[in-house]
């Protein structure tokens, strides 16, 4: 049995877009000691594939991080598969706030050095000993305290389109840049309460353990991140202090939390908050583009890319040959956010 996808990605995406089968988007993570990540990876591939799971899953010696979609009719079967894995028996599942079932189109499970790249030595602090969780009620109360420091543990392009009121949103591209910046900025503020949050909880959980290692005692992190907070606030009729969109790492690219538009088109500066990838596949830049600029630049980030994207596909493939088209981020949208 082949334990990886063998069908062309574009074909798989077409199938999902045309499918009428209801699917549910879920994310979950768990920090745990996994002795042989490759064996564990192969095991869950077989069992998850059998119940129709699609998505992106990272496995490492420090645990598992998953963003997936499951056929809604198979949710019970999927939860049974999780419960059969001892350390995932009661794992928290974050259900998407906005979900059209088109979030993923293939199953990819990869073994990584870490499930959250932090640039740190693995043995300097205990990632399984994070700070205390906060529920939506506790978060709302604690963040009313003017002494509380609220930190967005996501990247600049995520917080650009949505963040919590009064949060410090560090201007970084990666989590590994952010950790030392946070420690440095808060060195003289160890007597103040610190609340951390991220998309689903995985980054701020590790960050909270890191702050504890550096002597911070009054540290907390939002349970289940923005996703769980938004769902719980709505279900319980509580104030939602998040404004704008929640950026997500799948085909949707965002979940609308409030109607506030706090970002701007990276090309003309008009208020707008939809991320897109440049239509020039050799570029693939992630940026914010309004409808007018989409029409003007044919969905591209520049006139140069517009010219390339208009070429025949074979010529474009030749230009892409040997080039890295990994994640690249437009940084023009960076702005002065609340600072500590």
Catalytic residue ranges: 198
In the numeric block, which tokens belong to residue 167? 């949060």
Could you give the CA distance from residue 54 to residue 36 in angstroms, rounded to a whole number? 23
Host H or E run for residue 38: helix 37-50
8 Å CB contact between 154 and 203: yes
Could you give the CA distance from residue 6 to residue 4 in angstroms, rounded to a whole number? 6
Three-state DSSP state, 23: strand
Q: Which residues contact 223 (CB under 8 A, 6 or more apart)?
A: 92, 133, 134, 135, 201
Please report, for residues 65, 86, 236, 325, the alpha-carbon distance to residue 31 in angstroms, rounded to integers and kept in the order given: 8, 13, 29, 30
Residue with tokens 């906060």: 134
Could you give the CA distance from residue 120 to residue 213 in angstroms, rounded to a whole number? 13
Instruction: Count CB neighbours of 77 within 10 A.
Output: 15
Host H or E run for residue 295: helix 291-297
Q: Which residues contact 78 (CB under 8 A, 6 or more apart)?
A: 48, 51, 53, 70
8 Å CB contact between 220 and 142: yes
Three-state DSSP state, 18: helix
Q: Residue 212: what are its φ and ψ, rounded to 5°?
A: -60, -40
């Amino acid at each position: 049995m082949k334990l990886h996808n063998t069908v062309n990605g574009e074909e798989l995406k077409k199938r999902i877009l045309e499918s009428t089968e209801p699917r549910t988007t879920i994310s979950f993570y768990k920090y745990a000691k996994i002795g042989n990540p490759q064996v564990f990876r192969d095991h869950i591939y077989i069992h998850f594939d059998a119940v129709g799971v699609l998505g992106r899953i990272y496995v490492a010696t420090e645990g598992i991080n998953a963003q997936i979609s499951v056929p809604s009719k198979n949710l019970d079967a999927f939860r049974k598969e999780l419960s059969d894995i001892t350390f995932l028996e009661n794992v928290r599942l974050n259900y998407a706030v906005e979900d059209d079932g088109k979030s993923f189109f293939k199953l990819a499970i990869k073994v990584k050095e870490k499930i959250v790249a932090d640039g740190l030595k693995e043995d300097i602090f205990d990632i399984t000993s994070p700070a205390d969780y906060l529920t939506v009620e506790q978060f709302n109360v604690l963040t009313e305290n003017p002494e509380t420091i609220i930190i967005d543990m996501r990247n600049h392009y995520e917080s650009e389109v949505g963040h919590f009121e009064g949060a410090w949103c560090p201007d970084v591209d990666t989590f590994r840049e952010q950790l030392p910046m946070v420690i440095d900025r808060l060195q003289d503020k160890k007597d103040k309460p610190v609340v951390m949050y991220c998309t689903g909880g995985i980054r701020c959980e590790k960050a909270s353990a890191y702050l504890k290692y550096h002597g911070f005692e009054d540290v907390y992190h939002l349970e289940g991140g923005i996703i769980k907070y938004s769902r719980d606030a709505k279900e319980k009729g509580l104030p939602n202090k998040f404004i704008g969109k929640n950026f997500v790492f799948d085909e949707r690219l965002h979940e609308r939390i409030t109607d506030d538009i706090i970002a701007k088109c990276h090309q003309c500066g008009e208020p707008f908050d939809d991320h897109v990838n440049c239509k020039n596949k050799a570029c693939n830049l992630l940026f914010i583009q309004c409808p007018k600029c989409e029409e003007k630049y044919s969905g591209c980030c520049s006139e140069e890319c517009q010219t390339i994207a208009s070429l025949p596909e074979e010529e474009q493939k030749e230009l892409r040959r040997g080039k890295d088209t990994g994640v690249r981020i437009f940084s023009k949208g960076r702005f002065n956010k609340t600072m500590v």
